[in-house]
């Protein structure tokens, strides 16, 4: 793989547009797009080694612990193409997951990692999510569910970002402007 980056991890609080930006970037770079949230929803009926189904954890707005998530990733890792860059959206979400993903991708020949962090103030995140809840009617988008996810995000994701800073490129971008503006800043930051 002869590129400036083999793997791009995209982070941002819920509502920051990370899914949209990840997809746009994957299209532009012709990278494989790994959407952990979509994969978990597709694997709702998958029974984990502890006997719980993925759906029984995520439907009420919960998160899989590292051991549970690794089982889902291992089940789906065969979908990762060799010799093609990958954009990960929604994983890693803990330091343990970051170590797991870095190891997994290094074994697959990746060596150049970039982390993009879309920042968004808490109030803006809450506002955007409540709006999305009205539009999309997602089961996990209740005010309580959103508040819980934001609190969890602050406690767990932020230390993971600090950990990833040691591995390759780290780019922090304001997620507040309109989508095309954010896209343009990301492209510029990646030298495109």
d(CA 171, CA 189): 7
Distance CA 77, CA 82 (A): 11
Residue ranges in the chain modelled with pLDDT below 50? 1-2
What confidence score (pLDDT) does residue 140 get? 64
Residue 143: per-residue pLDDT: 79
C-alpha–C-alpha distance, residues 15 and 146, integer Å: 10
Helix, strand, coil percent content, the chain, rounded in steps of 5: 50, 15, 35
| pLDDT recorded at residue 1 | 37
Quote the pLDDT of residue 139: 65
Q: Which two tokens stand for residue 13?
A: 């609080």
Q: What is the pLDDT of residue 59?
A: 87
Q: 37-72 pLDDT, tens per residue?
A: 999 999 999 999 999 999 999 988 788 999 999 999
pTM of the shown model: 0.89
Is the CB of residue 5 less than 8 Å from the CB of residue 169? yes
Residue ranges of domains in the chain: 7-31+84-187
pLDDT at 2: 43
Question: Hey, which CATH number is domain 7-31+84-187, 3.40.50.970, 3.30.9.60, 1.10.1740.10, 3.40.50.300?
Answer: 3.40.50.300
User: Would you state the pLDDT for residue 10?
Assistant: 97
Question: What are the DSSP E strand ranges found in the chain?
Answer: 7-11, 32-35, 86-89, 113-119, 169-174
């Amino acid at each position: 793989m002869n590129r400036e980056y083999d793997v791009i991890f995209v982070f941002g609080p819920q509502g920051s547009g990370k899914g949209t930006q990840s997809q746009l970037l994957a299209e532009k770079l012709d990278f494989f797009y790994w959407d952990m949230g979509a994969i978990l929803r597709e694997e709702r009926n998958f029974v984990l080694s502890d006997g719980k189904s993925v759906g029984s954890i995520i439907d009420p707005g919960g998160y899989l612990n590292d051991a549970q998530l690794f089982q889902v990733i291992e089940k789906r890792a065969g979908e990762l193409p060799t010799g093609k860059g990958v954009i990960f959206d929604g994983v890693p979400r803990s330091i343990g997951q970051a170590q797991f993903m870095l190891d997994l991708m290094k074994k697959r020949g990746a060596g150049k990692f970039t982390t993009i962090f879309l920042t968004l103030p808490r109030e803006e995140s809450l506002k955007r999510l409540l709006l999305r809840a009205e539009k999309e009617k997602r089961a996990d988008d209740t005010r309580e569910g959103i508040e819980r996810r934001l609190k969890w995000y602050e406690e767990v994701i932020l230390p993971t970002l600090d950990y990833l800073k040691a591995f390759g490129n780290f780019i922090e971008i304001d997620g507040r402007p309109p989508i095309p503006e954010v896209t343009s800043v990301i492209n510029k930051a990646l030298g495109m």
